Structure 1
Amino acid sequence: MRLTSLMVSVILSLVFLTAHGLENPQVKVQDGWVEGLQLKNTEAFLGIPYAAPPVGNLRWKAPRAVKSWSGVLKAQELAIACPQKGNFFSRVPASEFDKPVGKEDCLYLNVWKPRKVQEKLPVVVWIHGGSNLKGTASDPIYDGAYLSEKSKIVFVSMNYRLGMLGAMASPLINSGDKLDQSGNYVTLDLIQVLSWVKDNIQAFGGDSNNVTIMGQSAGCMNVWGLLQTPLSKNLFHKAICSSGLPNSYPRKIAECRADDFLKNLIVNAGLANNNDDAQDFIKSKSEKYLREFLYSRSTEEIIKAQDFTIPIQHIHDGTVFPHGLEGAALGDFQQVPLIMGLTRDEGTYMVGSSFLKPTQQELWQWIQKTPKGLEIDDLLSVHPLKFKAMTKSSSLALENTLFKLYLGAKVYTPTYRYTFAWDETPYPWNEVFGAVHGLDVAFFLGNFDTHNENFLRFAWSDENKKSREELRDKMISHFTSFFWTDDPQWKGSIKFE
């Protein structure tokens, strides 16, 4: 048989890859075979489905099992974000900010593991932040390769439902199933991930009896959600919670939010002129009509109608969350070893973002490449002293609240606390942002990304390279100890600076 030049090239390529151990790895999980990517020091399996797509009649339902597949599933691309408005954390270009992005078929997870792996490695399950309204596991800052290789752990990240698709308590969607009608789809998605980890992670060399859940900002709030719900019992064994607090809302408040959301949908659909008219419209229609109206709305309509600043989550429903915050205060939570942390200057983003002068698009471009001659006054719409007074007070308020939470938690379980205070970012960012909300994530995950657009790209310079790499190594060494032994090797509180 005569070989074409293309066939010869393919054969030689396969021989080379096999000889050098660079062929793409394949792993068998419960639902079928997956093929990942061979990276320099790790293997990555990206975009593995952990639940059936929550679309159609599965919108506003607890996650359902994945349908098994035949053949080999290519797990080589990070999944698109769950529905949200384009923003700093949705991995879209600035031209798409404030526009509907993402899709409802978004329940996918990612796994990174060391290439040369022994069995029973600790597992870290990372939960991204974003106020439970935005964000995605595909953000470059959340890449799991560095921490997986450095700490010798299996790293898992995921997308989960956001906004009104992730938390919706309404009589209109009651189906008789307690989980479906709980409204707590964020927490149920995350429990589904942890169940997937329990059933499958050993195929990647992970130890299902040594799982750490870890999140920042809203991800930290969701860590607390997993600590508070009894449905997560025995699915994880320790927790790291950065820059977030536990929260809980009465069912009635969540139903009021759902009612406002329905009114927005009705007005946006041109069926009413304002919310008062929308209320009259609701009274004139049957539950069947309103239910069908809700389920017939497009993803874009859903995103546009959820125009709320504060998300309602962790709804006290009696099943997913049998108790409100009083439960956590009285020790009714998963009492596992716990690390709490925050940055010294949390308020410069959380409060200070309201006083920034540039548009979101301008600020994003400046973050990616600082303009020559950029000054503090170019960034702030108020006097710098006023800005510092407002942001410092909010930073101290969060620090004091977290400290009280730390004192309360350590009554029940081994608890550790850190403050992240590194502030060697280039001028003028150091004067405006300081140790900004989220900056610690780049250090304990290990990603100082200067190649891809991301919200921390402004922070890295040649001048601070040595300092940040030394602090990254220090943080990761402590966290690695916690992953492996439950003890981060510091007593009480520590400051990273």
Structure 2
Amino acid sequence: MRMGVCAAVLLLAHATSASAAPGGPVVNAPVGLVEGQVVGDLAVFKGIPYAQPPVGPLRWKPPVPVPSWTGVRPAHDFGAACVQPPPRPGSLYADPPAKMGEDCLSLKVWAPKAAKRAPVLVWIHGGALVGGASSEGLYDGTRLAEHGVIVVSINYRLGVLGYLAHPDLSAESPDGVSGNYGLLDQIEALRWVQRNIGAFGGDPANVTVAGESAGALSVMYLMASPPARDLFAKAIAQSAYMISTPTLKEARYGEQSAEENGRRLAAAVGAADVAALRGMDAEALTVAAVKAGYGPWGNIDGHVLTGQLVDVFDQGRQAPVPLLVGFNSGEIRSLRFLAPPPPTDAATYETAIRHQYGDLADAYLALYPASDMGESILANTRDALYAWTSERLAIKQTALGQPAFLYLFDHGYPEADAKGLHGFHASEIPYVFGTAHGTPPYWPKVADAPAEARFSDAMMDYWTSFARTGTPSAAGQPAWQPYDGAAAYMHFAATPQPETHLMPGMYALHEATVCRRHAAGTLPWNWNTGIMSPVLPAKTAGCP
């Protein structure tokens, strides 16, 4: 008989299996006995499978739950990262996994040894839906778990293996859909948490789903996805981007259908059919897909995703949960490939903006003037992707009657600032996780200084208290007010400072831009902004 779902199931003295190390914690979970390791006051379990390996005939199929096992399963080592291309040489985000493969659907749990109905934070890594892994040092959950929460980090299928749609794959599906496999993996991991986390001392009714960049895009997908409903109680989205999303079978908003993208990819790699695609080596296919220009995105299939994110959130069809959301002041300083080079002179810049933005050009140039084109281009690209999305999410959750807590991460430190990377994309992560020691090789190193440690402690307090209660708070730090009618936000600069009315005029401009593109039905909204923008449609009914 299984034991109860509380901390008492942690058998910290001796495991009964010969495979268990002396003193290793053993959890009797519904899925089976799992043996971890003691790390200070934590019990840590690595590489627990939550779904069967998506290989062979299971490639491009929804995840199949892992069956329960007999005996004690050691959980001492990270599972393989999901298949991904090599990182760009010299990238400050480059942190190649020690091992990778298609058998990658695993998760890791950091649990306080005394946990009993503790809040649970499920982390979804970033990496443009192409790369990344839960094993990265940035995402080590030790420090967060020491704040009394259980941290779960997950792997999910990436790139062409995670998001390929194709007419033949849709024909195989009982729902007539394809793609979204990486998102379905995330949903299956959340179901695993619901079934099993109580055995680790967690509260399945108090799960927060959290992620950064592509992980935050995934959080929005999960908030919008009917199959994910009721699998989490709160959400955290760090540097999310509410871009236009391909439709499974139709060309919409200037994008080919997801199935057509898949058909073109198959032709580009010389695969006559899905059977040929399944016969290709996973790593070779992944690299070939990148070279062919294939981009992995969720797709609107009417089942997993039922509408454009802007529509779902406008219509109040997203998960009605408390939300913590924000972005970084220097997002594009480390993502300059998303922004065009400045024109040769200010007059050319202003002429382009007036041509492309029409009656919105004065508002645009007031925010992003020609007098400093380089900074204006970085700021506009940041705002069109990340700042607008963050404030929009805060506004829409507030409209649902849910508390939303908005932030701007504007914290710099000497090595980053010296390299022109103040507040760069993802630079909040080592502060949120307390992992300044675990940054990738080319990452600007965080100073080992008391002020930096205090700042990180404050962010960990805010994040873990939000996971616990739905309200972020930190010992000795100012109260973080919900966005609400006052448009409140927390400005994480040298220290946390509460402020109101983030970047006046920014949200209105980008909301009008997206609204007009959406109304036209032929234009995407993503990084084609500023001097790269198409000519915007004229003002129409329902759009500013």
**Alpha carbons 1:345, 1:437 under 8 Å: kept:** yes
Structure 1 pair 159–170 and aligned structure 2 pair: CA distance change class (3 A): same
Deviations 1:414-462 (A, max 9, x none): 21100111111326x544211110011111111111xx56157423224
* Structure 1 residue 177 displacement after superposition: 3.0
Instruction: Name structure 1 gaps, 5 residues minimum.
Output: 1-12, 15-20, 270-281, 283-289, 357-384
* Structure 1 residue 124 displacement after superposition: 0.3
* Structure 1 residue 198 displacement after superposition: 0.5
Find out whether 1:495 has 2:491 as its counterpart.
yes
Q: Secondary structure at the match of 1:306?
A: helix
Residue 320 of structure 1 is matched in structure 2 by 304
Find out whether 1:104 has 2:102 as its counterpart.
yes
Deviations 1:381-429 (A, max 9, x none): xxxx8754432332243324432342233211221100111111326x5
Residue 335 of structure 2 is matched in structure 1 by 350
Deviations 1:68-97 (A, max 9, x none): 32221110111221111122556428xx9x
Structure 1 pair 60–352 and aligned structure 2 pair: CA distance change class (3 A): closer
Residue 418 of structure 1 is matched in structure 2 by 407
Distance 1:261 1:405 in 2: 33
Residue 475 of structure 1 is matched in structure 2 by 459
Q: Secondary structure at the match of 2:204?
A: strand
Q: Secondary structure at the match of 1:165?
A: helix
> Number of residues paired by the alignment?
417
Distance 1:137 1:456 in 2: 19
**Alpha carbons 2:31, 2:196 under 8 Å: kept:** no
Structure 1 pair 444–296 and aligned structure 2 pair: CA distance change class (3 A): same
Distance 1:355 1:174 in 2: 37
Structure 1 pair 178–35 and aligned structure 2 pair: CA distance change class (3 A): same
Name which of structure 1's ranges 46-55 and 475-484 shifts more when overlaid on structure 2. 475-484
Distance 2:302 2:394 in 1: 26
Distance 2:294 2:168 in 1: 22
**Alpha carbons 1:210, 1:236 under 8 Å: kept:** yes
Residue 458 of structure 1 is matched in structure 2 by 444
Deviations 1:161-184 (A, max 9, x none): 001111111112235434683311
Trace 1:37-48 onto structure 2 (pairs within 5 A). Answer: 37-48=37-48
Structure 1 pair 330–157 and aligned structure 2 pair: CA distance change class (3 A): same
Distance 1:259 1:28 in 2: 46
* Structure 1 residue 132 displacement after superposition: 0.2
Structure 1 pair 91–351 and aligned structure 2 pair: CA distance change class (3 A): closer
Task: Report the structure, 1 or 2, having the larger helix content.
Answer: 1
Partner amino acid for 1:71?
A: G
The counterpart of 2:217, out of the listed 210, 214, 221, is: 221
Residue 340 of structure 1 is matched in structure 2 by 325
Distance 2:329 2:442 in 1: 16
Partner amino acid for 1:432?
A: G
**Alpha carbons 2:31, 2:67 under 8 Å: kept:** yes
Trace 1:14-413 onto structure 2 (pairs within 5 A). Answer: 23-87=23-87, 91-92=95-96, 102-115=100-113, 117-149=114-146, 151-178=147-174, 181-247=177-243, 248-252=245-249, 253-266=257-270, 290-307=273-290, 311-325=295-309, 326-351=311-336, 388-397=375-384, 398-412=386-400, 413=402
Q: Secondary structure at the match of 2:399?
A: coil
Structure 1 pair 258–172 and aligned structure 2 pair: CA distance change class (3 A): same
Deviations 1:348-382 (A, max 9, x none): 122258899xxxxxxxxxxxxxxxxxxxxxxxxxx
**Alpha carbons 1:178, 1:319 under 8 Å: kept:** no
Residue 443 of structure 1 is matched in structure 2 by 431
* Structure 1 residue 67 displacement after superposition: 2.9
Distance 1:353 1:170 in 2: 28
Partner amino acid for 2:412?
A: D
Partner amino acid for 1:63?
A: P
Structure 1 pair 470–355 and aligned structure 2 pair: CA distance change class (3 A): farther
**Alpha carbons 2:36, 2:45 under 8 Å: kept:** yes
Structure 1 pair 320–178 and aligned structure 2 pair: CA distance change class (3 A): farther
Structure 1 pair 139–179 and aligned structure 2 pair: CA distance change class (3 A): farther
Structure 1 pair 147–456 and aligned structure 2 pair: CA distance change class (3 A): farther
* Structure 1 residue 244 displacement after superposition: 0.9
**Alpha carbons 2:233, 2:322 under 8 Å: kept:** yes
**Alpha carbons 2:246, 2:258 under 8 Å: kept:** yes
Distance 2:334 2:293 in 1: 15
* Structure 1 residue 217 displacement after superposition: 0.1
Q: Secondary structure at the match of 2:77?
A: coil
The counterpart of 1:485, out of the listed 454, 469, 485, is: 469
Partner amino acid for 1:111?
A: V
Instruction: Name structure 2 gaps, 5 residues minimum.
Output: 1-12, 15-20, 250-256, 342-371, 474-479, 484-488, 494-544
Deviations 1:251-295 (A, max 9, x none): 1321121122102210xx8xxxxxxxxxxxx5xxxxxxx222111
Distance 1:348 1:126 in 2: 25
Structure 1 pair 411–255 and aligned structure 2 pair: CA distance change class (3 A): same
* TM-score, normalised via structure 2 length: 0.72
Structure 1 pair 179–80 and aligned structure 2 pair: CA distance change class (3 A): farther
**Alpha carbons 1:106, 1:160 under 8 Å: kept:** yes
Deviations 1:100-150 (A, max 9, x none): x721110000000113x131000000000000011111110000111001x
Q: Secondary structure at the match of 1:214?
A: strand
Structure 1 pair 310–442 and aligned structure 2 pair: CA distance change class (3 A): farther
Q: Secondary structure at the match of 1:161?
A: coil
Structure 1 pair 46–485 and aligned structure 2 pair: CA distance change class (3 A): same
* Structure 1 residue 158 displacement after superposition: 0.8
RMSD after superposition: 2.6
Q: Secondary structure at the match of 1:439?
A: coil
Residue 279 of structure 1 is matched in structure 2 by none
Distance 2:86 2:219 in 1: 24
Structure 1 pair 291–426 and aligned structure 2 pair: CA distance change class (3 A): closer
